[in-house]
Structure 1
Amino acid sequence: MKGIMTFQDRLLGLTNAIYRFPLTIIFLLLATVINSMDIHSSNDYSRYILSLIVGAFLGIVSQVIYERFFNNKVIRISLFGISAILALIYSYVISNADNINTEIWIKTIVGLFALFIGFIWIPVIKSKFSLNESFMAAFKGFFISLFFSGVIYVGISLIIMAVNQLLFRIGYNSYSHAANIIFLFFGPTYFLSLIPLYTIDYSGDDGETQYRVEKTKNNVAIASSCPKYLEILISYIIVPLTAVFTVILLFYILGNMGGKFWSDNLLEPMIVTYSITVILIYILVSRMENKLAEVFRMIFPKVLIPIVLFQTISSIIKIGDMGITYNRYYVILYGIFATIAGIAFSIFPVRKNGIIAALLIVFSMISIVPPIDAFTVSKNSQLKIFESVLNNNNMLQENKIVPNKDISSEDKQKIIKVLEYLHQIEYTDKVSWLPKDYDYYSDFYKTFGFNQYEQTEEVNQYVYLNLNMEDPIDISGYDFFIPHYVYISNYDKKEEEISKFEKSNKTYTLKLNVTSKDSYLSLWDENQKEINRFSYDKVLQRFENYAGDTKGLIDMEEAVFIEENGVSSVKLVIKAFNMDRTADNKSFNIESYILVDIRQ
């Protein structure tokens, strides 16, 4: 009986979530349908799915704004309308982009994060409830819905597998469709059903009002209560482990304040992760009454301040040489936020933790809104370094880059790193100094006068070349045309047949031979007599120290190798050549066309 009542409560919760968040449910349903189409189709529907997910997040925020501040259905509909319009604007922006690049992804993720924080914080603004209760309810709801969704998916997958093996064949896409429905629609809907209504309704007579107030308080208390196992896990396991890690971190920082700390790039992500952990634990233990929780609340915010502050200063110092990238922008911005959070936790009571949520939303919006967003700032910073290096080496004349191979290694590295970053964020086509239709891989050498991947005295070399496919292949005078791919390393020893063919009623065999000393193609007649041999050493000698006019592309003249005699001719046309040479090994793979002419 109790199980039936629990099931009815869960079903009622799902129904209430649909009624409470109708716009979000509509967006999630449409996203599920379109993602189902995407599973079946080769077309890219990611822009539509992403737009609908943004709309779903806007929908839940508009609903909690209405619940907290308004009590008019017209305003509710208006808020939903604004959310739908914002989702359409977002869809229009990404539809006009060439592709969903790094900038779009990161800005979208940060924007969704800000909306989710708003979803947690807005219902408790100037409320009888605090952020701590809202956060715990969302924290529990997320993991409960994830657990239920995972269990349901495993169960459905087992059913699909059983039907597929025992009854009849089911399409391989069935698992994807199941995951789509469960994790994109059911999971988020179930999560929303676990979020209580924080607004206390004081309308009605005294008895009815008292009942509504007590019911709301009871629902929030249940949703935000901390399970005993979670309290034990956090207080007696996670908090002590965090304390030990903090001691180690402090010893390292104090022992290396003279130098290494300020240049250790590995420490940067570690401290960011540490500070996020401390802030999350602080909010989770805010309502716990055991001794370890109290000690954590009293000590750790004060310890967090100097650790994060020093790391933020270190990150700011590092931008002096190579400027700001969007990664470092976020590290510095988060460092500022974490420092303020530590101060706020040290000054204000735990009930005022909502200040942190407000700061987090503000900082998130700063990072995605031009002209002070992460990508605009980082682009300007990198272009400033780029221009400075070019001007210092007389490589920028009349707004065009002049190649110069004689610049210092340090300046070469700056140019290489700046171009690498601009290519990563897909901004090279907007740099006025670069040639029109500049290709990052093939145009670097002819643009700057030096190779992007300089060889060092140590044997550690990589060569990647491709044939310019606009050049025609001359096959006149040859009897046979054979595409071939080969991979060879120092340790290979093999002999294999590549092809057999006939001419004038005679059979000929083309073989690949690899020994410890050489690798070559051999042509044999029907009497098992070798009539021609082409050694791959010729290819290696031409390309292993390649320094052509362009890096990455070779023309037909460079790609052709011929080995001929009075009996036959073997012509090799290199389509792609990749070589990887280290101190211990030299390996290469060649994709080529082999042309054979039999002259007897």
Structure 2
Amino acid sequence: MKLIFNIKKTLNNTKTSFKRFPVGMIASFLSALFFILGVYSERMSGYNGNNTKNGFLFLIATFCFVFIDLFLEGLKGIVKNEEDLQKYKLIKIVLIILSVPILYGIKENMLGFEEALFSYDNSYKYFGLLLFFIIASFFIAKLFYHKDYIAYVIKIMGAGFVSLLYSGVLFLGLSAIFSALHHLIGLKITSNIYVYTSICIFIPFNIGIFLSNFPKGETSLANYEISKATRVLLNYILMPIFSIYLIILYIYFAKLIFIGELPKNILIHLILWFSLFSVVYLFVLDIIKDSKSVRDFRKIFPVLMIPVILVMFYSIILRIGDYGITENRYFVIAAGILSLASMIYYVFYRSNSNIAIPILLSVVILISTIGQVSAYNMSANSQNSRLKKILLKNNMLNGNKIVPKTDVSDNDKAKISEIVKYMCNSHRNYELNYVPSDFSCSDESMKEVFGFDHTDSYEEYDDMYYNYDAKVSIDINGYSKLLLIDSYPDSNISKTVGNYKIRRKSNFIEIYFNDDDKDKEIVTINMKDIKNKLKVLKKTKEIIDPDDLSIKGKSGNIEYKIVFTSLNFYEGEIDSEYYSCSFYLLTNIKN
């Protein structure tokens, strides 16, 4: 009964969302309406017109108006007299008026109709601004009073969890009803019904539930107490996990120093996500004030994280030095700056409210997505700079015009091809410097402008592949078992085929035989050696025989042969560890 009462109370509270955020809630309904019209138009005529774009416009308008209302709530809390009240009313009018040109600018510049929806930099601008409004709504009402800010954010996160839970359960329930009506009663329920339902639930309904539980800025949460379960999670579960992971990273750094090896590319991602989660964890952990272990952890952990983040910067700078800036690398740098600044903040401002963290995050989001130093613009500038250096090196630039040449090294051809492809795929063609306005990525256009086409640059980069065409038979004489094995990038998890276990580790593929629950190593394949062998074979042989790349051997009483059926080594943008392969494993066990 208590659960039903709480559900009814939550649903009734959605009425307060309309009273507190009237314009935002109306915008959410209009957003859902236009999305539904867009889906309907797409089904009826194959073209959704401007409906989908209007749906995205009113979606961002929802959070824009929520942001304004929350700011006015916080501002109203510091009104002390009639003069302050008049200033408050004036600011309210100004903000409402300013919201109109802001939304019009979003429609024209981010949802422009001359290009596909969210093409090129429009996606970064739109979703960056949308994310800014969402993140800023977490702190804007608390700008003028934020001593209880951590508790305030925890309440917001709780409201978000409740809204998603209610929306998810409602959608699953309605979907089950639709399915029953279709399969049991025979009513025609199209897939669009599910889409319409999800739009209604996850936009206006979900937002309404969320905003109904959104804490008010003027409400004091100074005496807020977290639950015992949350305290156990933060103090006794997450703290050891974060500590052990940090220790592992330091052990790995010691290994790198000992063997004199550079950090692997995957290290960037391992540190990046860990540092971002650490920022969030330390933010929430500050809610616990009465634990010595927490206080000691918050003193030591941020200090130890700073060198870790600096190693990540070193790794990504090496990548940028080789291949320039791309949007992904830019965002890694931006996230790293956020993490580093947050750790420094935690070191020197341990007793603060931590409101500076989401403020810094919102600023980073804006800078990264909008303006001249955004990820999109900086990536284009970096790749154009790389192109200019290569062209000057090969005497291919006369003023602002490219001089076609054929006697260019394969490596430089590959780099030019890589830059051109990146700019053509991720940017507008005219954003690539020095090429004519009608330039395209085709081989003909490349040949005309640069003197060579994309295929001329494959030797070092794209041509590192091999496929068995089945025109030559594979000798299986002397082997009793044949297994087909494949391995793809990021598939470091072991896989088992019969009694054989295949484990991928970086540039190595290890093969084991399981005998009486014990893994016996048969062979370790060094994929760097295979790549180098393939490179030599491509230069010396017109047709590569499967046996040219095969590996034979004996391990104990197991004779084995490995015959590759496909090899793909992806270079240029990716480390040499990024490869895929398939091969036959032939074995014979002698008693």
Normalised by the size of structure 2, how large is the TM-score?
0.70
Partner of 1:132: 150
3-state SS of 1:41 partner: helix
Cα deviation per residue 1:545-572 (whole Å; 9 max; x = unaligned)?
A: 9xxxxxxxxxxxxxxxxxxxxxxxxxxx
Distance 2:24 2:241 in 1: 39
- Asked if the contact 2:148/2:222 (under 8 Å) is kept, the reply is no
Distance 2:199 2:325 in 1: 39
Partner of 1:198: 217
Q: CA deviation at 1:260?
A: 6.9
Q: CA deviation at 1:398?
A: 5.3
Within a 5 Å distance, the mapping from 1:98-109 to structure 2 comes to 98-99=115-116, 100-109=118-127
Partner of 1:264: 264
Partner of 2:29: 29
3-state SS of 2:565 partner: coil
Distance 1:46 1:395 in 2: 46
Structure 1 pair 55/257, CA: closer, same or farther in 2 (3 Å)? Answer: farther
Distance 2:413 2:259 in 1: 26
Aligned amino acid, residue 311 of structure 2: F
Partner of 1:469: none
Residue 47, structure 1, aligned to residue 75, structure 2: no
Cα deviation per residue 1:20-39 (whole Å; 9 max; x = unaligned)?
A: 11121121111100111122
Q: 2:450 aligns with which of 411, 435, 448?
A: 448
Cα deviation per residue 1:289-333 (whole Å; 9 max; x = unaligned)?
A: 445533432222111111112322432343233322222222222
Q: CA deviation at 1:233?
A: 2.8
Q: What 5-or-longer segments of structure 1 have no aligned partner? A: 200-215, 464-487, 494-544, 546-581, 587-600
Partner of 1:149: 167
- Asked if the contact 1:153/1:179 (under 8 Å) is kept, the reply is yes
Aligned amino acid, residue 26 of structure 2: I
Structure 1 pair 367/155, CA: closer, same or farther in 2 (3 Å)? Answer: same
Q: CA deviation at 1:452?
A: 2.1
Distance 1:459 1:268 in 2: 27
Residue 86, structure 1, aligned to residue 66, structure 2: no
Distance 2:386 2:193 in 1: 52
Structure 1 pair 236/97, CA: closer, same or farther in 2 (3 Å)? Answer: farther
3-state SS of 1:584 partner: strand
Structure 1 pair 265/332, CA: closer, same or farther in 2 (3 Å)? Answer: same
Aligned amino acid, residue 47 of structure 1: K
Distance 1:19 1:263 in 2: 55
Partner of 1:358: 359
- Asked if the contact 2:74/2:144 (under 8 Å) is kept, the reply is no
- Asked if the contact 2:124/2:370 (under 8 Å) is kept, the reply is no
**Bigger shift: 69-78 or 25-34?**
69-78
Partner of 2:204: 185
Q: CA deviation at 1:225?
A: 5.0
Partner of 1:312: 313
Q: CA deviation at 1:90?
A: 0.3
- Asked if the contact 2:31/2:55 (under 8 Å) is kept, the reply is yes
Structure 1 pair 374/40, CA: closer, same or farther in 2 (3 Å)? Answer: same
Residue 321, structure 1, aligned to residue 322, structure 2: yes
Q: 1:175 aligns with which of 194, 197, 201?
A: 194
Q: CA deviation at 1:16?
A: 0.8
Aligned amino acid, residue 230 of structure 2: L
Distance 1:446 1:228 in 2: 70
3-state SS of 2:137 partner: helix
3-state SS of 1:351 partner: coil
- Asked if the contact 1:459/1:583 (under 8 Å) is kept, the reply is no
Partner of 1:286: 286
Structure 1 pair 28/462, CA: closer, same or farther in 2 (3 Å)? Answer: farther
Cα deviation per residue 1:493-520 (whole Å; 9 max; x = unaligned)?
A: 9xxxxxxxxxxxxxxxxxxxxxxxxxxx
- Asked if the contact 2:338/2:360 (under 8 Å) is kept, the reply is yes
- Asked if the contact 1:27/1:52 (under 8 Å) is kept, the reply is yes
- Asked if the contact 2:106/2:126 (under 8 Å) is kept, the reply is no
3-state SS of 2:438 partner: coil
Aligned amino acid, residue 152 of structure 1: L
Structure 1 pair 413/489, CA: closer, same or farther in 2 (3 Å)? Answer: closer
Q: CA deviation at 1:281?
A: 0.8
Determine which structure has more spread, i.e. the larger CA radius of gyration.
1
Cα deviation per residue 1:34-74 (whole Å; 9 max; x = unaligned)?
A: 11112222224443222222211211111111011135456
Structure 1 pair 46/236, CA: closer, same or farther in 2 (3 Å)? Answer: farther
Q: 2:565 aligns with which of 559, 573, 584?
A: 584
Distance 1:370 1:299 in 2: 37
Within a 5 Å distance, the mapping from 1:47-446 to structure 2 comes to 47-70=53-76, 72=88, 75-94=91-110, 95-99=112-116, 100-127=118-145, 129-167=147-185, 168-199=187-218, 216-217=219-220, 220=221, 226-257=226-257, 264-288=264-288, 289-290=290-291, 292-397=293-398, 399-442=400-443, 443-446=445-448
**Bigger shift: 119-128 or 255-264?**
255-264
- Asked if the contact 2:71/2:141 (under 8 Å) is kept, the reply is yes
Distance 1:25 1:114 in 2: 19
**Bigger shift: 360-369 or 300-309?**
360-369
Q: What 5-or-longer segments of structure 2 have no aligned partner? A: 77-84, 474-537, 539-562, 568-591
Structure 1 pair 360/258, CA: closer, same or farther in 2 (3 Å)? Answer: farther
Structure 1 pair 382/583, CA: closer, same or farther in 2 (3 Å)? Answer: same
Distance 1:73 1:182 in 2: 35
Q: CA deviation at 1:259?
A: 8.7
Structure 1 pair 40/245, CA: closer, same or farther in 2 (3 Å)? Answer: same
Q: CA deviation at 1:191?
A: 1.0
3-state SS of 1:352 partner: coil
Q: 2:470 aligns with which of 477, 490, 510?
A: 490
Distance 2:142 2:428 in 1: 42
Distance 2:98 2:314 in 1: 41
3-state SS of 2:139 partner: helix
- Asked if the contact 1:278/1:300 (under 8 Å) is kept, the reply is no
- Asked if the contact 1:382/1:418 (under 8 Å) is kept, the reply is yes
Distance 2:195 2:113 in 1: 29
Aligned residues: 456
Normalised by the size of structure 1, how large is the TM-score?
0.69
% of aligned pairs identical? 26
Distance 1:36 1:311 in 2: 44
Distance 1:260 1:422 in 2: 36
3-state SS of 1:173 partner: helix
Structure 1 pair 462/91, CA: closer, same or farther in 2 (3 Å)? Answer: farther
Q: CA deviation at 1:239?
A: 2.3
Aligned amino acid, residue 200 of structure 2: I
3-state SS of 1:359 partner: helix
Cα-Cα RMSD: 3.1
Structure 1 pair 17/259, CA: closer, same or farther in 2 (3 Å)? Answer: farther
Partner of 2:554: none
**Bigger shift: 385-394 or 312-321?**
312-321
3-state SS of 2:145 partner: coil
Structure 1 pair 491/172, CA: closer, same or farther in 2 (3 Å)? Answer: farther
- Asked if the contact 2:384/2:433 (under 8 Å) is kept, the reply is no
